[in-house]
Amino acid sequence: MAERRKKPTGDVERAPRGGEVARPDEGYESLIEPRSGLSALLAPVGGFGVTLSNMFRPTVTEQYPREKVPTKPRYHGRHQLNRYADGLEKCIGCELCAWACPADAIYVEGADNTPEAQFSPGERYGRVYQINYLRCIFCGLCIEACPTRALTMTNEYELAGPTRAGMIWEKQDLLAPLREGQLAAPHPMVEGTTDTEYYRGEVTGVTPEQVAWVAEHRPDDPTLPQNAEKGATVPDHGTTRLEQQAITAAARRQGGAR
């Protein structure tokens, strides 16, 4: 390197080369006052004091994943798309969450609710809803932007997955599981209500008309009370998650993970 460098020509004043600092002539002098007596003798082992004192304190090591410690209640975990009490989706596909997202992790497409396929109260619902957990930074701006409280965050943090595609969660993965008494969408709104009543929380459950509509159009729907009595179960997770879980389970069997 040194040979390659051009020699300064003439008497041009050169700037100091990189890495050089001005060195005081009188040499280095510490500003820490030197110890004396016993403390000077014990100084070399003084650092063990921290170690020794911690030996008598309770341990903080978490035995994750064998023992899982609950998060704080407002921990920003994975998202959930909520439902109204009768099972209709709260999401109206307005894309405000996607707009708010600083990481461009959310993709939404809206569509029209029709009398044959009413997914949410009102005119519009989210036809496509994807959150890319490879991008999400869990800042929570999306849930602040949501005008219908459709999007909230759960405390679930175990979001690692074996495939990249599987990290893009679809609407069916994000939708809240149907509780007992809720009917899977699509089905009509409660008679005589508008989206305003839904928003105000005046709809508290399914009506017999809604059950009848679903029984007529989807007699095999597992959320119907008559099917639930026969033992039909609704899967808690969407297909993307189930596929991911299957891949992970297979890898565990092969790799011998505990």
Please give the residue ranges that form the binding site for another protein (CB under 8 A).
92-96, 98-99, 109-112, 122-124, 147-148
Min separation Cβ 161 and another protein, Å: 23
**Helix (H) / strand (E) containing 151:** strand 151-153
Min separation Cβ 119 and another protein, Å: 12
Our CA dihedral for 186, 189, 194, 195, rounded to 10 degrees, sits at: -40
Nearer to another protein, 151 or 224 (CB): 151
Nearer to another protein, 122 or 181 (CB): 122
Assign 197 to helix, strand or coil.
helix
Min separation Cβ 86 and another protein, Å: 20
Q: What is the pairing mode between strands 124-132 and 106-112?
A: antiparallel
Nearer to another protein, 80 or 113 (CB): 113
Min separation Cβ 183 and another protein, Å: 23
Nearer to another protein, 113 or 210 (CB): 113
Give the DSSP per-residue string, 68-88.
-----TT----EEE-B-TTS-
Q: Which residue has the tokens 């609950």?
A: 70
Among 142, 124, 117, 135, which residue's Cα sits nearest to residue 218? 117
**Residue type for position 74:** R
Give the CA diameter of the chain. Answer: 99
Min separation Cβ 196 and another protein, Å: 9
Whole-angstrom Cα distance, residue 67 to residue 47? 32
Nearer to another protein, 3 or 191 (CB): 191
